[in-house]
Amino acid sequence: MDNHSHALFLFSLLSTYLLFAFGIGAESESYYHVIKLTSLLPSPHCSTPKGSNHHENKKGRLKLDHLYGPCSPFGHRRKPTPRQILSQDQIRVNSLQSRLNPRPHNVEDTKTTTLPAHMGKGNYFFTIGLGTPKSELTVSFDTGSDLNWVQCQPCEGQCYSQQDPIFNPLNSSTYLNISCTSPECSQLPSATANPTLCFSSTCVYTSTYGDGSFSRGYFAHETLTLTPSDVPNFAFGCGESNVGLFNTTAGLIGLGRDALSLVSQTSKEYGKVFSYCLPSTSSSSGGYLKFGSDDATSVKFTRLLTNPKAHSFYFLQMVGISVGGKQLDIAPSTFASPGTLIDSGTTITRLPMSAYIALRSSFREFMSNYTMAPALGPLDTCYDFSQQDMQAPKVVLHFGGDVDVEVAESGIFFLGSQSQACLAFLGNSDASDFAVFGNHQQQTLQVVYDLTSEKVGFGVAGCS
């Protein structure tokens, strides 16, 4: 072999080694994302044409958008900072955890100074029709809540500012207050030993949230329109006293498992089945929310768990995590009790601390060739994306029934700024806290809830 051939041979060996060592060879491409900064930034444009029906998508799906996304008519005016989002998210998680483990939390976890309130109100919105003739109202949804309510005239207490005209029950021919003796009135969470449940024989509700905001008013029946078909006698709260910013939506739709949720109330129409796809940060076309069966041919299902202390919550059996194609050394029992809560209103996924440390260690090892950026609040694994694209390992969450859920590239990082992209996972502060599968990691997935069969399914590229 001459010197020239020998040099080429050595160069070839060196190139092969570098490709393998840094994870960019053909053999390992399936374990990595090449992430561009533009894939994490919000799209500057909404792709919904003006004058089109932007409320309903194909296949009877209701169009779903993020409150601060490009298609939001009101979110940009009050968009919180990344630190505010994280602080508010922690308040929600504390509230969820307290349902099973009542205890005081660290004061630093619950600071609310100058924070916009959206605990319990969800991060995504869609449009419903309410009343006869129907009034179109933009509402948020939340799988961690059950009670449905909207603001109502005459706002005798107080009402917050909302984008749509406030619903006036006097203009609807199908509005009817629910009496105190109705079985539905006794199903309200505020019904237990509450002497103010009735006012002039009319059922009164109060819905309070972990950040101190609330909605209070009359419990009533009305005609609900989700698609071209109507849902008569829909029980909801007609709120005449409402405190909290609520992101200027008209109210909240609860998609929990208890009797008063929209899922339970429409069981005859939709069979206790609903699905959604939460759009990615960079999406200009949004996602969807659908009630009833959906095209689920590529969806894999895992068993739904129930906890008697929080029957309304959706718990799943997480059994492990993989990073860059390698499953981490985490015992499945780490996630066993009471399971992992899948929640549409929590932003950042929470893990038991030992699982988070294993994830963080493996992720940092794969990203060791990149310079780390300062931490963003509790997010302690951050990188500078401003000067280059980055190759990040894929993260896969493993659930019971051999269900593997790959986190989309938009769900791996939470963006503080162009020079601060942080691993979008956190460890729980208390050993008794359960894991939470947040909406940031659910982005672009087709998520199907089948309550009759007690299972939840996941499919890829759900928003397309």
Contact 330, 102 (CB under 8 A): no
- Starting at the earlier edge strand, list the strands of the sheet with 382-383: 372-373, 382-383, 420-423, 413-417
Looking at residue 30, what is its pLDDT? 87
**What number of CA atoms fall less than 13 Å from residue 7's CA on the CB side?**
3
Q: What are phi and psi of 300, to 5 degrees?
A: -110, 135
Looking at residue 67, what is its pLDDT? 83
Site of tokens 């004058």: 51
For residue 75, is it left (φ>0), alpha (ψ between -120 and 50) or beta? alpha
- In the numeric block, which tokens belong to residue 31? 């374990």
For residue 262, give the nearest of 140, 147, 175, 343 by alpha carbon: 147
Distance CA 165, CA 377 (A): 38
Looking at residue 107, what is its pLDDT? 39
Q: Which domains are assigned to the chain?
A: 58-80+116-277 (2.40.70.10), 298-459 (2.40.70.10)
Q: Give me the residues of the chain with pLDDT under 50, please.
A: 4-27, 50-54, 105, 107-120, 192-193
Looking at residue 71, what is its pLDDT? 81
Looking at residue 210, what is its pLDDT? 66
Site of tokens 């419903």: 128
Distance CA 116, CA 81 (A): 10
Residues belonging to the active site: 142, 343
Contact 240, 262 (CB under 8 A): no
Contact 167, 132 (CB under 8 A): no
Tens of pLDDT, residue by residue over 237-257, are 999 998 876 778 899 999 999
Looking at residue 46, what is its pLDDT? 82
Instruction: Report which DSSP code applies to 83.
Output: H
Looking at residue 457, what is its pLDDT? 97
How are beta strands 435-437 and 340-342 bridged, if at all? parallel
SS3 28: helix
- In the numeric block, which tokens belong to residue 153? 């005239």
Q: What is the mean pLDDT of the chain?
A: 85
**What number of CA atoms fall less than 13 Å from residue 270's CA on the CB side?**
27
For residue 432, give the nearest of 324, 309, 272 by alpha carbon: 309
Site of tokens 């006794």: 186
